[in-house]
Structure formats: C-alpha cells, structure tokens
Amino acid sequence: MLQPRPDPVDASPATFLFLQGLASTFFSDLGRALAERGHNVRRINFCTGDWLFWRGSSDQYRGTRAAWDAWLAAYLDREGITDIVLFGDCRPYHAAAREVAAARGLRVHVFEEGYIRPNWITCELGGVNGHSALPRTASAVRAAARRLPQPGRAMPSSGDMARRSMWDVGYNLANIFFPYFYPRYCSHRPTHIAMEYAGWIKKFSRRGRTRREAARCGEIYKAVGCDYFLLPLQLDSDYQIRVHSPFLGVEGFMDRVIKSFAETSRAPTRLLVKLHPLDAGLINWRKFARASARRHGVSERLDFIDGGELPGLIAGSRGVVIVNSTVGMLSIELGRPTLAVGTAIYNMPGLTHQGDIDSFWTSPTAPDMDLMADFRRLVLHRTQVNGGYFSKPAIARAVASSVPRMEAALPDAFVAAARATREGGAGAGRLAEVY
C-alpha cells in the first residue's frame, strides 16, 4: 500500500496536480474547493475537451505519448507537486503518471465509478480495482471492519442523463473540431468517437424493440420459474477486461463461459446473457453469443437480452458469472453465488465461488453474508464518496465528501500549512491565480 510521506518540517500547503477526468465539471469544482481550503492546485490538459471542462488557468501537454514520462517528471519537480488527482488509473497517460509519482513518493488520488452503486463514487489512494490496496482475505476484511463504525445512509445522487450526454458530446466535439491545439494527443478510447456515436444512433433506433424483448424474456422466466445463470457482459474497451483479466476481450470470455456451460451444466438450466447498458453496439455480441452456443451445442438453452432490470435478474438466478464487474458486488449483496474470473476487489474465499468455472454450474458457492456486510462497510469507509459526476447536486455532494478524504491522506504539516494560508487571507490570492 502507498505510504504517505512523513511530516515535512516547515511545510507549504500541498500542491495537487489534476490530470484527466470525465466529461464533467467535477474535477474543476473539486480543484476550486481544494484551493479554497488553502492548497495549491495545478492542471494539465491533454486535449481541447480537457481545457473546456476546466475553469481556470492550466498547463498544456502537447507532446507525444512517448515523451510524456520525462516531461511529467520534470514538471513534478519544477512545480513542487505533492499529490496527483486523476480519473481511471489505467489510461496510458495515467498509468505512466502513477509510475513517475511512485518513484518520487507522491500520493495519487484515483477517482472512478463507484464500487457500490448507485449514489457512490470511488476515491481511493494509490489505485483502484486491480490496483486497489483493499485487503483480499476474509480474516483481514473482518479485522479491519471490526474497527469501523456502521456507515451512514447515502443521500440519493441520481445522475442527469441529458446533462451527461450533452457534456460528453461537447467534450468530444471540441476534440474533433479543434484538434490542432493538441496535434499529438492520443485518446485512450480504442474506437473513434464518431463511430461510437453512429453506434449509439443505431442502438437508440432499436431501443423500444430491445427493451420489449428483454421485458418479455424476464416475464417468461418468472412465469415458468426458469432455472438459469446470468452472464452480464462488460464493455470490450473496459480496462477491467484489458488490464485486470486473463482475457483479451469480451468474445474470449463469453466463449469460454458458454463452452463450460455446454459441457458441464445440466438441462433444462439456461444461460441468460445480458448486454452492458453502455455498449454502443459496434460489435454484434448477440451474434457472437449465438454462434458460440451453436458451436458448443447449447443454442436451445441460451438467451440474449439488451435491457432488463438487473437486480431482479440477479435475484432470480442460480448464480452470476462475470470477469470483474461491479455487478459482482450487487450479486453478492443479493446473496447469489458469484464467479469472478478476473481480478476483482471482492474475489476472495467467503464472497465468491473459488472453484473453477466448470464446478460453478453444478455446485455454486453462496456468499457469507456476514463477511459481505463487513466487506461493504470497509469499502464504504475507505474508498466510497457519496455523490455523482453528472448532476449539479450530486457533484456538489461528491466534492464536499472528497475534500476531507483527500486531506486525511496528507501529512499533518501540509494540512496545517493550508489552514494557515487560508486563515491568513492568502488563499484568496491563490484561488484567483488558479481560477
């Protein structure tokens, strides 16, 4: 686990460097809040979309990806950076930044979507998901949770889908129409955004039909008391797949699961494959699933849906097979046997099925619900922040909760220096410089 530096003597306030975030005002609002607390705040933009969503002064990186490591190292030393703030620790620029920061003993505050949803986002020191420092054994989880109070109730933090879509379009259009400001920028997205939007337009045109199909499938399953396992797909571009799993993509994972299901499960048990709700439809996963089912001889026992109410589908299943999605947390909370074949924070004895995939179909292991309660308490206290990224009330709540969590990771001398700056009236000058 990343250890904070010891308290420096006569320290100045911490200096937070913000790298890329989401197409959201969250990072800009968080930077302002930290500046108001007396800390120094810096920002590096990599593309026009980054610039658009940062209110205030910033520095620009216009070099190549290959030159980024050396450029960043010099920047960190020159600017006296003590902390780095970023969203997603596997983006190429961010993965390199974590390594450069580790060599200098700097803290890295990583934001992500919530491990627990809805109403939560992740704010974790050092890394998230496969890079998380959360304990991975039942004994360590129980020992840590025993020292923690019960978490309070989360305030509802529903997202604003219209705002999220508008921000996403604005971010990407800025990059499309003004690429010459950052000519060497290379996005972490594997597919050009124009292709993604084309996929979404086609998907929305079929949305009513796919929803009706999913609802009808759910109704039939419930009416006949169908015995089934659930296979919720992740995004093929997800770093959870690309970095934290033994698979190169969704296709290989799905085929491995269907093959095992065909060879080991007993009829009339069915396999229900559910498309990820944010899949843009660029790859016809329904076609791949059906082809795999034909190849392995289980076409008559496989169903594929694009839609459906996830908690109900999980609750009605015999078990859930995933790589490492946050769906696994929900599945375990609902008491369903869960098999995670990738690196997941919850993949440990007592929570997930620890046998191989073939044994899961006939003898799935149910989670220990007392252990799950301890694990949930630990995750909430150490990594989760109430709020969201895509509505003004949710962002305000997330910012208000993130600042004290981030300050708790600082040496006392940094916090004291920030307080002295704030109380001495210098914070307003710093805020004006940054914003």
- CATH at residue 362: 3.40.50
Among 375, 395, 411, the domain boundary falls at: 375
Query: Does one domain contain both 219 and 283?
Result: yes
The mean pLDDT value for 296-325 works out to 97
**What pTM was computed for the model?**
0.92
Q: What's residue 157's pLDDT?
A: 74
- With respect to residue 6, please indicate whether it lies within any of the assigned structural domains: no
Q: What is the rounded distance in angstroms from the CA atom of residue 370 to the CA atom of residue 307? A: 31
Query: Does one domain contain both 337 and 211?
Result: yes
Query: Does one domain contain both 216 and 309?
Result: yes
Query: Does one domain contain both 228 and 349?
Result: yes
Query: Residue 35: enclosing H or E segment and its boundaries?
Result: helix 26-36
Q: What's residue 430's pLDDT?
A: 54
Among 358, 375, 392, the domain boundary falls at: 375
Q: What's residue 200's pLDDT?
A: 86
pLDDT band at 90 (very low <50, low <70, confident <90, very high): very high
- With respect to residue 5, please indicate whether it lies within any of the assigned structural domains: no
- With respect to residue 4, please indicate whether it lies within any of the assigned structural domains: no
Query: Does one domain contain both 156 and 239?
Result: no
pLDDT band at 432 (very low <50, low <70, confident <90, very high): very low
Q: What's residue 1's pLDDT?
A: 44
- With respect to residue 197, please indicate whether it lies within any of the assigned structural domains: no
The total domain count for the chain is 2
Beta partners for residue 18, in sequence order = 43, 85
Residue 46 structural domain: 15-162+379-434
Backbone angles phi, psi at 107, to 5 degrees: -85, 145
208 CB burial (10 A radius; 0-12, 13-18, 19+): exposed
3-class secondary structure, 338: strand
Among 347, 375, 403, the domain boundary falls at: 375
Query: Does one domain contain both 332 and 401?
Result: no
- With respect to residue 180, please indicate whether it lies within any of the assigned structural domains: no
Query: Does one domain contain both 388 and 428?
Result: yes
Query: Does one domain contain both 283 and 409?
Result: no
Which among 30, 6, 7, 13 has a CA at the least distance from the CA of 387? Answer: 30
Please indicate whether residue 321 or residue 430 has the higher confidence score (pLDDT): 321
Q: How far is CA 196 from CA 166, 188, 191, 192, in A?
A: 15, 14, 7, 7
- With respect to residue 183, please indicate whether it lies within any of the assigned structural domains: no
- With respect to residue 173, please indicate whether it lies within any of the assigned structural domains: no
Query: Does one domain contain both 213 and 225?
Result: yes
Query: Does one domain contain both 361 and 393?
Result: no
Q: What's residue 151's pLDDT?
A: 83
Query: 421: number of CA atoms within 13 Å, CB side?
Result: 25
- With respect to residue 71, please indicate whether it lies within any of the assigned structural domains: yes
Is the pLDDT at 428 greater than 80, yes or no?
no
Query: Does one domain contain both 318 and 369?
Result: yes
pLDDT band at 425 (very low <50, low <70, confident <90, very high): low
Query: Does one domain contain both 301 and 224?
Result: yes
